[in-house]
């Protein structure tokens, strides 16, 4: 991009002359002085060089390009000449500037006579200051406005990054408020029209998509995909397809493949067609081992048809429901009967958050009744964390809540916030029942790598709680809640428990066979997993299409038959060793639950060389179709707003580019990488950097 900085390109051309002084003016003419800005206070300490191409500091004779921004000139004065604005005499003046300054002085204060420099010091200072201002204004006015010489418009590129990172449509670039704000900074800035922005975004999308595709071809292990769906404000259904794998350094990786519109009527057939197009576009259809969907009927049908397609090509494949969405449905069943009570609590929470006096009262009464220390404002979001926070207030600080409401009612009249004794009893029982659910979701959200085995471990604990409540609770309403929850739990286990998820669970060194759910831990699943391991991972001669390197054989028929005989002998020994490898792994006790599963395999891959290949494939299977935080915390609220508001013309490119940049891919436009950090540095760099300094 050359040596010119962003400040050189955009700020200086926007400097407006602050006073106009005619060269032919005489001392008798009156000229009005326009209001000076902060820029002129810097310029008065610089004079134009004889060549007309640079400015020279009057205090140290340092020279700068004429295109140097006034802000950088100010940095020079602050760094090199601290206290420069308090200098009594200032700088030398030419005779012409003295005459021009005296004109401004008479016009500004006609009742004060112009006196010689030998008179009182305060008058000299006032006169000198006006003289410097007039001289600076005249020089700035005489300079022709330069136009940016850059091929790349820094401001527009930075605004483009802002649009993408904030998931905003290109039409924002034509917003009058944004245009006026940029003009305020510099009148030379011209924002791109929305048509050009849209064109550039699409070009960047195509370039970065090729980079993602190229990176996926370098992966030598199996991949897993996750599906998510949403409906925009235009009532268009979208599907996002993400790819997950574990690299050779045992680091979990993921990348968004695409965001696509699902054609009407958005059934399983349409979803399958879109999904297959994405897999084929990235050339990974033969590497997919598993797909985690969003539990919808149409998604299940699409995954079922995909499995039939891949199995016809002798490729292993499984699909499982999202555990996080199942857990959300279970929790919503538990909250269904107390929604009216939660609405009353939410009203109190909202009012408290908006009133500083109420927050102070709540803290005071909580301290008086020893009901704990509370972080305010309260969480009032509509997700599970917000709902549980409201249950927490009633359960742990009922007196503080009642006394705060009482004071409000004394001032403003009755409020429908007070809970009856029966309502408090219901909240108390439900809070105790749902507390393990809250701990489970919190652990899922904070877990670095929520493997299938770990997720099944937590889900099995939740299912046990549901069954215990259903069988032993003496409260009929709570038993009914547990009954509804149980249906969702049974639906999940029937879909999620299979040989593939069993294999993924036992290959988690924290789970193995001891902590696996009882209904999943069957002898048949173990035998199937063992056979799969011996068949696909027992030797270095891998089956074509399994994601690993294949053995190249180009010998003639006779030599090939002889070689095959040797291979069969060696493979029998290799299979025996492989079986011992799996048996030895399962015979050892599980690692502590706090262990990082991938770190464990990094340290033990040399001990289990074949089994580690299988672990890389199966540990990449996802137990949830999206980040649990997006379902249970306020993080999902912002994502949903962005997904809802983007128009069809921007949805795919904007969402993909944003995700790819977050994954570490370079922002490419027509084979050129746009380095935004350098652009920002060029705008904020000190005066000694990047060509803005002229020696």
Residue 72 CA to residue 74 CA, distance in Å, equals: 5
pLDDT digits 0-9 by tens, 237-267: 999 999 999 999 999 999 999 999 999 999 9
Q: What is the pLDDT of residue 564?
A: 54
**pLDDT score, position 369:** 95
Name the burial class of residue 673, with classes exposed (0-12), middle (13-18) and buried (19+) by CB atoms within 10 angstroms of its CB.
exposed
Across 94-108, 114-128, 220-234, the highest mean pLDDT is recorded for: 220-234
Reading phi first (left if > 0) and then psi (alpha if -120 to 50, else beta), residue 14 is in alpha
- Alpha helix ranges (H) inside 397-475: 398-412, 421-446, 452-472
Per-residue confidence (pLDDT) for residue 693, from 0 to 100: 30
Examine the pLDDT at 315 and tell me if it is beyond 90: yes
Confidence class for position 122, pLDDT limits 50, 70, 90: very low
pTM: 0.73
The length of the chain is 695
Average pLDDT over residues 532-538: 89
Query: Would you say the C-alpha torsion 205, 211, 217, 222 has a positive or negative sign?
Result: negative
The per-residue pLDDT for range 334-377, each reduced to its tens digit, is 999 899 999 999 999 999 999 999 999 999 999 999 999 998 99
Q: Which pLDDT value is given to residue 335?
A: 92
Confidence of residue 83 (pLDDT cuts 50, 70, 90): low
The b/e string for 243-255 (b: 16+ C-beta within 10 A; e otherwise) is: bbbbeeebebbbb
Which conformational region is residue 664 in: left (phi greater than 0), alpha (psi within -120 to 50 degrees), or beta?
left
Q: Which two tokens stand for residue 139?
A: 């020089």
Mean pLDDT over each residue of the chain, to the nearest integer: 81
Which tokens go with 307?
């499995």
Give the pLDDT band of residue 6 (cuts 50, 70, 90). Answer: very low
pLDDT tier for residue 552 given thresholds of 50, 70 and 90 = very low
Say yes or no to pLDDT of 56 above 90.
Answer: no
Q: Identify the band that residue 31 occupies on the pLDDT scale cut at 50, 70 and 90.
A: very low
pLDDT at position 91: 43
The pLDDT value given to residue 32: 45
- Residues 318-347, mean pLDDT to the nearest whole number: 94
Contact 337, 483 (CB under 8 A): no
Mean pLDDT score, 515-535: 93
* Average pLDDT of span 21-36: 42
Asked if the model's pLDDT at residue 436 lies above 70, the reply is yes
Task: Tell which residue, 323, 301, 608, 577, has the closest CA to residue 437.
Answer: 323
Is the pLDDT at 86 greater than 90? The verdict is no
Q: Can you tell me the mean pLDDT for 598-624? A: 96
Confidence of residue 475 (pLDDT cuts 50, 70, 90): confident
Closest CA to 531 of 557, 570, 499: 499
- Both tokens assigned to 541: 């001669």
pLDDT at 61: 81
Owner of token pair 């001392």 = 27
Distances (CA, A) of 602 to 199, 248, 251, 537, 609: 45, 9, 9, 18, 11
Q: What would the DSSP string read from start to end of 591-636? A: PPTTS-HHHHHHHHTTTSHHHHHHHHHHTTS-SSSS-HHHHHSTHH
Q: Please report where in the chains the tokens 């393990």 appear, as a residue.
A: 436
In the block, tokens 């099995």 appear at: 460
Residue 412 pLDDT more than 80? yes
Give the least confident one: 14-18, 468-472, 485-489. 14-18
681 against 674, higher pLDDT: 674
pLDDT of residue 539: 66
């Amino acid at each position: 991009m050359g040596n010119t900085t962003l400040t050189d390109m955009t700020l200086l051309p926007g400097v407006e002359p602050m006073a106009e002084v005619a060269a032919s003016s005489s001392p008798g003419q009156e000229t009005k002085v326009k209001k000076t800005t902060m820029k002129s206070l810097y310029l008065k300490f610089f004079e134009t060089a004889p060549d007309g191409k640079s400015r020279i500091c009057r205090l140290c004779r340092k020279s700068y390009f004429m295109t140097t921004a006034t802000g950088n000139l100010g940095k020079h004065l602050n760094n090199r000449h601290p206290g420069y604005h308090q200098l009594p005499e200032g700088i030398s003046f030419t005779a012409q500037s003295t005459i021009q300054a005296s004109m401004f002085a008479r016009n500004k204060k006609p009742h004060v006579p112009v006196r010689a420099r030998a008179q009182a010091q305060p008058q000299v200072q006032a006169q000198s200051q006006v003289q410097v201002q007039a001289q600076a204004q005249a020089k700035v006015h005489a300079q022709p406005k330069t136009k940016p010489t850059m091929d790349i418009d820094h401001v527009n590129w930075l605004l483009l990054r802002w649009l993408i990172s904030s998931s905003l449509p290109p039409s924002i670039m034509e917003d009058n408020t944004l245009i006026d704000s940029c003009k305020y900074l510099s009148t030379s800035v011209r924002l791109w029209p929305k048509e050009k922005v849209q064109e550039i975004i699409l070009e960047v999308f195509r370039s970065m998509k090729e980079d993602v595709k190229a990176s996926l071809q370098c992966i030598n292990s199996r991949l897993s995909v996750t599906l998510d769906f949403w409906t925009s404000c235009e009532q268009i259904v979208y599907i996002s397809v993400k790819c997950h794998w574990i690299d050779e350094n045992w680091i979990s990786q993921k990348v968004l493949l695409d965001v696509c519109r699902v054609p009407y009527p958005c059934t399983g057939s349409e979803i399958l067609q879109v999904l297959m197009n994405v897999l084929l576009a990235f050339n990974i259809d033969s590497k997919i081992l598993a797909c985690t969907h969003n539990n919808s009927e149409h998604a299940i049908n699409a995954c079922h048809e995909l499995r039939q397609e891949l199995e016809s090509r002798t490729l292993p494949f499984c699909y499982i429901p999202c555990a996080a969405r199942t857990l959300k449905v279970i929790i919503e069943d538990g909250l269904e009967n107390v929604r009216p009570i939660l609405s009353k609590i939410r009203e109190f929470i909202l009012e408290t958050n908006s009133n500083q006096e109420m927050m102070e009262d709540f803290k005071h009464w909580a301290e008086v009744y020893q009901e704990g220390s509370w972080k305010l404002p309260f969480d009032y979001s509509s997700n599970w964390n917000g709902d549980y926070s409201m249950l927490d207030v009633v359960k742990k600080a009922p007196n503080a809540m009642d006394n705060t409401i009482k004071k409000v009612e004394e001032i403003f009249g009755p409020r429908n916030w007070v809970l009856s004794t029966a309502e408090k009893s219901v909240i108390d029982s439900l809070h105790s029942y749902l507390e393990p659910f809250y701990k489970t979701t919190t652990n899922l959200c904070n877990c670095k790598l929520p493997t299938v085995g770990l997720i099944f471990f937590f889900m099995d604990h939740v299912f046990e709680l549901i069954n215990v409540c259903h069988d032993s609770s003496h409260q009929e309403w709570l038993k009914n809640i547990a009954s509804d929850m149980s249906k969702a739990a049974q639906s999940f286990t029937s879909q999620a428990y299979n040989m593939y998820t069993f294999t993924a669970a036992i290959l988690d060194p924290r789970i193995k066979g001891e902590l696996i759910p009882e209904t999943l831990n069957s002898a048949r699943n173990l035998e199937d997993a063992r056979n799969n391991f011996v068949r696909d991972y027992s030797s270095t001669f891998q089956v074509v299409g399994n994601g690993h390197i294949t053995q190249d054989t180009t010998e003639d028929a006779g030599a090939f038959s002889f070689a095959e005989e040797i291979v069969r002998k060696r493979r029998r020994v290799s299979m025996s060793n492989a079986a011992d490898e799996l048996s030895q792994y399962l015979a050892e006790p599980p690692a502590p639950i706090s262990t990082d599963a991938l770190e464990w395999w990094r340290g033990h891959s040399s001990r289990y060389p074949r089994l580690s290949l299988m672990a890389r494939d199966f540990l990449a299977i996802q137990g949830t179709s999206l980040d649990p935080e997006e379902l249970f915390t306020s993080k999902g609220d912002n994502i949903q707003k962005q997904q809802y508001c983007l128009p069809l013309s921007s949805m795919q490119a904007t969402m993909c580019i944003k995700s790819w940049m977050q994954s570490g891919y370079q922002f490419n436009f027509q084979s050129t990488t746009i380095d935004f950090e350098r652009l920002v540095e060029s705008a904020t760099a000190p005066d000694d950097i990047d060509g803005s300094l002229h020696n």
